[in-house]
Structure 1
Amino acid sequence: MPRTIVDLPARRPPTAADPIAVAIRKPPRDSVIPYHAHAWGQLAFPVSGALCLDVPGSRWLVPPYRAVWVPPGIPHEVLLLGKVEMHTVHVAAELAPLPPAQCTVIEIGPLARELISALAASPPPSGEHLRQIQALLLTELAHARTLDLRLPQPADRRLRALCEALMDDPADTAPLEEWAQRVGASARTLARLFQAEMGMSFGLWRQQVRLNRATVLAAQGRPYAEIAAELGYASPSAFSAMFRRAYGMSPRRFFGGQPA
């Protein structure tokens, strides 16, 4: 599907004197913000819809009320999934509250939400009030719960063929031995490549693919029974059980934006 290319420059880059800048973004539906990088850290926080963030070698899918942290200088591309409204929080590089060299998905709790909303208000707070809000938000972000929503992407051509096919059809239940025949490698070689390039087993990677696709479908407003069927689960309860094992909460609670 063709996507509209959009450019969303920082409306007010952070400075040493004013180290956090917040903007409310409502990009066109199903659009893409092409590869770019910032001199500051960025938190992309969808409050409706979902977004997909790509960096070379990895992908993160981010549902509502979670946010993805992009450190300063990291090239990244953003796909907007459906009709998205998001807050972008730009943080001066020297005050980055999250890992300085890798992207991270975090939960945005009620207090952090209110602090971000306060900074996005018109007119915004100023003076000592502004400094206190910014300081508290940095503390909240530094202590936020992280979520493992990363989907590694391979370099090996055989592994890439397998992964692209499985991302196209996450419901495919073929074992690794069958995939080995399809892509022209032994099952042992593929298992070794998954650990070497992806840092996880084939089974865990396939689960991550399904969880990522569930994010996209939930952002489209699809019923959970439909999502479970499309991902190859025998019943909604089987899908929910897998989801609880992965994230410690039900899909309805997770995608409803309620932090654990």
Structure 2
Amino acid sequence: MSIEILTDTRPHAPDKYPTEKRPVRLSARNLQTEEIIRMHSHDWGQLTYTPRGMLQILANDSTWFVPPFRAIWIPPRIGHEVRIVEPSHLRVLYFHTEFSPFEGNDCLVLEVSPLLRELIASMEEVEAGSKREAHLAPVIMDELHAAKHLPIRLPMPRDKRLKSLCETLLTDPAASLTLEDYARQVGASSRTLTRLFEQELDMSFTAWRQQMRLAKATPLITSGLALSQVAAELGYASQSAFSAMFKKTFGESPSSFFRHK
């Protein structure tokens, strides 16, 4: 059963809001599996990060699985929901709008460097409003500007027929059914579904399924499942086929990607 943690648009208390004098603030808490921070938004941007656990973020008609030592940037006034996939040490940096590290309304998944990890940890320890807190903020900004962006986003459709198809695929990522098979299930022609994939998601059915499988790989690998089992769970013919596709997308092997650097 899911547990609602947050239902309004504020974090915990006004003293946690970022201001011009204190533009970067940290909120830290530990959450258990299946806990949910319900859909909400606020006037500042946030960097959502966990050094331990697994997060699923819903925002901008997309979903992201965010593993340890990665983080997601969520711009100001963007509605978002946080789902806890595994027990997580949730660490959220709030950024005043005048001190935003990124422009635009797109969410971004970022590599968290060793230095940025230590900076976030230091924000937990510093005295509120101290000179040290003020000195850490621009260094955090600099690390975010240099952070590598990761293609973990999985766009989700609004059309009911296409949404039904995509949710079916998410439930059974290893299924080898064709688009024609799914068309019969959702009551639309394969031509219509092909058009909807391009119009709503800007990719083909095959490309979306591949992206979905890679997104689903994240929680499976971090749970400790062997790569051979992950490949089978996701419908790949072999571990090497899965590893090759993973490396093509992320630029490194699964074992390297999920190694604590």
Mapping for residues 93-132 of structure 1, pairs under 5 Å: 93-123=97-127, 126-127=130-131, 129-132=132-135
Query: Counterpart of 2:91 in 1: which secondary structure?
Result: strand
Quote the residue 1:5 is aligned against: 4
Query: Counterpart of 1:185 in 2: which secondary structure?
Result: coil
Pair 1:67-2:67 in alignment:
no
Mapping for residues 1-260 of structure 1, pairs under 5 Å: 2-7=1-6, 9=12, 12-123=16-127, 126-127=130-131, 129-258=132-261
Q: Distance in 2 between matches of 1:9 and 1:35?
A: 15
Q: Which amino acid aligns with 1:49?
A: G
Q: Distance in 1 between matches of 2:28 and 2:159?
A: 39
Q: TM-score, normalised by structure 2?
A: 0.91
Q: Which amino acid aligns with 1:162?
A: L
Contact preservation (8 Å) 2:71, 2:110? yes
Q: Distance in 1 between matches of 2:247 and 2:60?
A: 29
After TM superposition, give the deviation of residue 236 of structure 1 in Å.
Answer: 1.6
Q: Which amino acid aligns with 2:179?
A: L
CA-based RMSD of the aligned residues comes to 1.9
After TM superposition, give the deviation of residue 166 of structure 1 in Å.
Answer: 0.5
Contact preservation (8 Å) 2:45, 2:94? yes
Segments of 5+ residues of structure 1 without an aligned counterpart are none
Contact preservation (8 Å) 1:158, 1:185? yes
After TM superposition, give the deviation of residue 143 of structure 1 in Å.
Answer: 2.6
Q: Distance in 2 between matches of 1:213 and 1:136?
A: 33
After TM superposition, give the deviation of residue 184 of structure 1 in Å.
Answer: 2.9
Mean Cα displacement is larger for which, 17-26 or 163-172? 17-26
Q: Which amino acid aligns with 1:67?
A: A
Q: TM-score, normalised by structure 1?
A: 0.91
Segments of 5+ residues of structure 2 without an aligned counterpart are none
User: Structure 1 residues 6 and 219, CA, compared in 2 at 3 Å: closer, same or farther?
Assistant: farther
Q: Distance in 2 between matches of 1:132 and 1:122?
A: 11
Q: Which amino acid aligns with 2:136?
A: I
Q: Which amino acid aligns with 1:119?
A: M
Q: Distance in 2 between matches of 1:131 and 1:196?
A: 45
User: Structure 1 residues 216 and 77, CA, compared in 2 at 3 Å: closer, same or farther?
Assistant: same
> Which 4+ stretches in 1 moved above 4 angstroms?
122-125
